[in-house]
Amino acid sequence: MLPGPTNVPERVMRAMYVPMINHRSDDFVELYQKCVENTQQVFKTSGEAVCLSASGTGAVEAGVINIVRKGDKVLIPVNGEFSTRLAQMIEWAGGNVVKIETQPGQTATLDQVREAFDNNPDVSSFFCVWNETSTGTMTKYLDRIKDLTSRNDAMYVVDGVSIVGGEELEMDKWGIDVAMTGAQKAFAAPPGISPICINARAKKHMIEAPPKSMYFNLPRYFKYYEESKHTPFTPALPLLYAYREALDMILEEGLDARIKRHRTCSAALYAGLGGIGLEPFADTESRSTIVIALKYLEGLKDKTFRDTLAKKFRVLVAGGFGDLKGSVFRVGCMGEVNRYHVMRTISAISSTLAMMGYETDTAAGLAAAEKELDASSL
């Protein structure tokens, strides 16, 4: 139940157990083309898809250095660890960063974003962390940013690392120019492949002035794909096999059904964990459907709690980041997550709390969760 890496289905694990192939062969073309085309389907884009052999940070950094040019004014909501990192990357790329800052646990409102656009008519791009994994918050108006970016053709870039595949995304329809994720999150694949999608406008922008980077030079990836359906550098072959299998599973389930499952499971987790006496860290309107951050009860020690949960019940959850270390813990609700994971997590957390001397009501928590699951027939 970590917010990544998540459980990987056995079918996906098995897909990796294959002999190495030549990455300049027809076998590779068959593998990689399928990865690209199915990635486009998940992101709902007819633009380019590059499946980078890298962690999510690699894809995010690629998005930054291929879009941001020295002196560009870049707007970015900042409310946690990953948006802070993104702002830092943009600064390092020479961007003039204008932060829309909110408290951790809150997301900037659409009005705040609109005001930032009003105050900065010379903005070159808008970057946004869709799901702030460090605090369990999620931006819920990605479909309404296009009206703002289109005022002066600003680029629109979305770090969707912990959420793509688990929530609704319409990259082309919503006017998103660049978006990326990491395979180890809602795709339920092993870490190491991070897809990044780029629409025609952003592709043109990148080709006009490619970054001074060898590995993350996206125009180089476009050229290789166009000419031979290859990647410029040796890809992580076993991980690509796993990634292809994970994409097959996503499309077999259907994106709508998958999103519904994620939403139902998070509603059940919020209800159930609330039922046993825990309080979410994020404001109600900002709460993520993919990562649930919870406040620790008074006196509860992070390490003892998570170690007990892991050792006695084999349920893994994550601690907090930076200033939130020791005051929150985070439950991932992504990938394979289903009724079983939800019910087991609630009962394991409740039992751990009881073992540590806290008053808790496991039955009430499970009943609240079940109500949500039953309402969606999950």
Ligand X SMILES: Cc1ncc(COP(=O)(O)O)c(C=O)c1O
Per-residue contact string for residues 266-285; x = within reach of ligand X by CB under 6 A: --------------------
328 binds ligand X, rule: CB under 6 A: no
Which window, 9-17, 53-61, 117-125, 202-210, contacts ligand X (CB under 6 A)? Answer: 53-61
| DSSP element (H, E) containing 224 | helix 218-228
Closer residue to ligand X, CB minimum distance, 57 or 338: 57
Supply the minimum distance, in Å, between the C-beta of residue 374 and ligand X: 31
One-letter identity of residue 99: K
Give alpha helix (H) positions in 121-191. Answer: 146-149
Out of 105, 182, 190, 195, name the contact with ligand X by CB under 6 A: 182
Beta bridge partners of 293: 330
The residue from 4, 63, 105, 280 that contacts ligand X (CB under 6 A) is: 4
Q: Which is nearer to ligand X, 56 or 365 (CB)?
A: 56
Distance CA 374, CA 378 (A): 6
Nearest alpha carbon to residue 328 among 371, 286, 299, 294: 294
| In the complex, least distance from residue 204 CB atom to ligand X, rounded to whole angstroms | 26
Closest CB to ligand X among 127 and 225?
Answer: 127
Structure-token pair, residue 136: 């369990």
CB 180 → ligand X: shortest distance, Å?
9
Of residues 38, 49, 56, 218, which one binds ligand X by CB under 6 A?
56
For ligand X, the closer CB: 135 or 360: 135
Cα 372 from Cα 143, distance rounded (Å): 27
Structure tokens at 174: 């919503």
From the CB of 366, what's the least distance to ligand X, in Å? Answer: 29
User: Which residue type, as a one-letter code, is found at position 3?
Assistant: P
Round to the nearest angstrom and report the end-to-end CA distance of the chain.
Answer: 18
- The least CB distance from residue 55 to ligand X, in Å, is 3
- CB under 6 A: which stretch of 156-164, 314-322, 330-338, 353-361 binds ligand X? 156-164
- How many Å apart are CA 92 and CA 110, to the nearest integer? 27
Among 100, 161, 242, 346, binds ligand X (CB under 6 A): 161
Nearest in space to 100 (alpha carbons), one of 118, 324, 181: 118
Are 110 and 270 contacting, i.e. CB atoms less than 8 angstroms apart?
A: no
Phi/psi for 201 (5° steps) reads: -65, -45
Site string for ligand X, 90-129 (x = CB under 6 A): ---------------------------------------x
Of 45, 55, 66, 347, the residue at the interface with ligand X (CB under 6 A) is 55
Reading the block at residue 193, the tokens are 């492949």
The number of beta carbons lying within 10 Å of the beta carbon of residue 173 is: 11
* Binding status of residue 133 toward ligand X by CB under 6 A: yes
State the residue number with the nearest CB to ligand X.
56
Indicate which single residue of 159, 167, 245, 370 sits in contact with ligand X (rule: CB under 6 A). 159
Closer CB to ligand X, 124 or 162, in the complex: 162
Q: Does the protein bind ligand X through residue 72 (CB under 6 A)?
A: no
Segment interacting with ligand X (CB under 6 A) among 36-44, 54-62, 146-154, 263-271: 54-62
The reply on whether position 162 binds ligand X by CB under 6 A is: yes
For residues 184-214, b (16+ Cβ closer than 10 Å) or e, as one string?
Answer: bbbbbbbbbbbbbbbbeebbebbeeeebeee
How wide is the angle at C-alpha 49 spanned by C-alphas 46 and 53, nearest 5°? 170
Q: At what angle do helices 26-43 and 237-253 cross, to 10 degrees?
A: 40
Q: Which residues bind ligand X (CB under 6 A)?
A: 4, 55-57, 60, 82, 129, 131, 133, 159, 161-162, 182
